[in-house]
Amino acid sequence: MELRWSKNALKDIEYWKKTDSTKVKRIKELINNIVDSPYEGIGKPEPLRFEWTGYWSRRINSEHRLIYKYNEQYIEIVSCRYHYGK
């Protein structure tokens, strides 16, 4: 399964690598779970609506979300910091 990162998501993960390794560990855990079960599992997966239709979110913690899109060829990580692009 190919993993694609948006420019924004790459900035987010670099931020976490510098500031909070527990967030990086949680993000990796969420991504591994997405590979096994894209729409169920840990982090309370939720389909997004409106301009985010087709994307899903999972909770990193109470403040931050992992936003992704899944298809048979790849997982696209759009964001992994803040809550829906705030």
Who's near 63: CB < 8 A, 6+ residues apart? 82, 83
83 counts as catalytic: yes
Helix (H, G, I), strand (E, B) or coil at 51: helix
User: What are the Cα distances from residue 82, in Å, to 30, 47, 65?
Assistant: 16, 17, 6
- Catalytic annotation, pick one of 29, 40, 46, 72: 46
Q: Which residues belong to the active site?
A: 46, 83
